[in-house]
Structure 1
């Protein structure tokens, strides 16, 4: 990091801390941040680096917080994020249990990180998910797009039931953005929820771009929540603008929306996500709930 970069990050930290202090909060709770084994994260960054070429220049995705793990932890703490996650996900069978072992170790050495686990539709999934729950995991990540699997796959059915019974939240990337997959969209998730209505699903990115369909699910199922990851930012509004007609529904669901950022894999400063939420003009009480209180209540912080 250059001295100019360090100065910029320090200035941003001051601005982020000012944001939550002016709301009367002790900090932020961010349910959607990524920490994973370095070789896995490097491949994720390589994908984002290639997006410009893959999309013919339509989407450029510079990684704002590209740094070693210790520096990234220091940065997020300096922003005043008092609890965050280590979202990680397999793209094939045989990875999830290994990733869970790494994440358990990361949580042990990073006490402000909520112990995070993942899963994949494969033989033995219920066994390692049960092991993770018994080891104290606080949240799971499921990535339907990257994993290219149907969340309603019968291999996962008993596991969803186990997670519903345990009350363990699952952050699930199931919307069709930034690119659709065979099993993305509201349909497969609606099938899962019909079988497991008490499952605590947190819809990543608010289901971008199928925002209103996922709002329907949140209104239908009391345990469904939505995270704000990348939504309402200039970047996402160019690609998939949130329909203004649905803003009153956001206000009504203020107790079930959670701050998410996608740190460190975002193409803009962390502060911009907070500014994007503020300019919705849904009020300070709504911001307090989304940025802190809902997360505190969900995870018993």
Structure 2
């Protein structure tokens, strides 16, 4: 991993960055992560593209790698796929954040009667970012059970990283429609559209232009891997540049089929300039999460 750490260090030093802020990294209970890795091991037949896990290591080593890469703040993106799971995940994530000070305390939810109560408990316990996975969870963000959740998070201004695009495989509630309806009711939500909304890039750029608190994260977008099946339209680069204050670095570490530095290379070769890269890789995330 030394070569990767050296490449990331060279990137940071060239841009004079104090570190990276990665809003889309995954840490979760080991048995849950094992099932996630099993999913990626089997996703090749669905997409036609193998998905090997580059950083299939123990938790302690994964944390150490991010620190070696100079990531000053990261997340523990975790998500339920069924009811009565989210509160348990939130308890684990709170403990992980307490013993991992450079991890932004992450929480999640699922459409169920108890959601409002356990989300409020997570907020009161110091949660700084939430994860919603419409594809894996298979739920509509407009489910009535989530109304108190969205209202609370909009009022608190806590960002929600939401996988709502239809990549790599469409879900019943993916695509721009459900999120557009959600934002019409809660326009002050600080949503972070994961994966730039791939493959519906243009539609989610529309939402970011319409709602000032909507951000997009770069997770896997623009990489050689993603470009095989979800090419970012060259004609949208101007809009991407114009939204430079609301694009956030995300990588999907450790569940990526290439070295960590490739995400940075993919961003650099867009040709949007050093100021854009500095904002995306550090400054926007530092501002969103109030990092000193």
Q: Which range, TM-score by smaller chain?
A: over 0.9
Partners of 2:43 and 2:207 in 1: CA distance: 31
After TM superposition, give the deviation of residue 46 of structure 1 in Å: 0.5
Note the aligned Cα RMSD (angstroms): 0.6
In structure 1, the partner of 2:70 is 80
Q: Does 2:213 match 1:223? A: yes
User: Equivalent of 1:157, from 128, 147, 154?
Assistant: 147
Aligned residues: 291
Partners of 1:115 and 1:41 in 2: CA distance: 18
Report Cα offsets for 1:234-268 as digits up to 9, x if no partner.
00001110000000000000000000000000000
The TM-score normalised by the length of structure 2 is: 0.99
In structure 2, the partner of 1:294 is 284
Q: What SS does the aligned partner of 1:142 have? A: strand
Report Cα offsets for 1:106-163 as digits up to 9, x if no partner.
0000000000000000011011001100100000000000000000111111210110
User: CA contact under 8 A between 1:21 and 1:27: conserved in structure 2?
Assistant: no
In structure 2, the partner of 1:3 is none
Partners of 2:126 and 2:93 in 1: CA distance: 12
In structure 2, the partner of 1:5 is none
The TM-score normalised by the length of structure 1 is: 0.96
Q: Does 2:122 match 1:132? A: yes
User: Equivalent of 1:25, from 17, 26, 31?
Assistant: 17
Q: Does 2:88 match 1:68? A: no
Partners of 1:83 and 1:21 in 2: CA distance: 17
Partners of 1:12 and 1:270 in 2: CA distance: 7
Q: Does 2:267 match 1:277? A: yes
Partners of 1:85 and 1:260 in 2: CA distance: 10
- Gapped runs of 5+ residues in structure 1? 1-8
Q: Does 2:178 match 1:188? A: yes
In structure 1, the partner of 2:189 is 199
Q: Does 2:240 match 1:250? A: yes
In structure 1, the partner of 2:6 is 14
Partners of 1:30 and 1:24 in 2: CA distance: 17
After TM superposition, give the deviation of residue 54 of structure 1 in Å: 4.4
Partners of 2:94 and 2:226 in 1: CA distance: 32
In structure 1, the partner of 2:103 is 113
- Gapped runs of 5+ residues in structure 2? none
Would the alpha carbon gap of residues 50 and 254 (structure 1) be closer, same or farther in structure 2, given more than 3 Å must change?
Answer: same
Runs of 4+ aligned residues of structure 1 deviating over 6 Å after TM superposition are none
Partners of 1:259 and 1:211 in 2: CA distance: 16
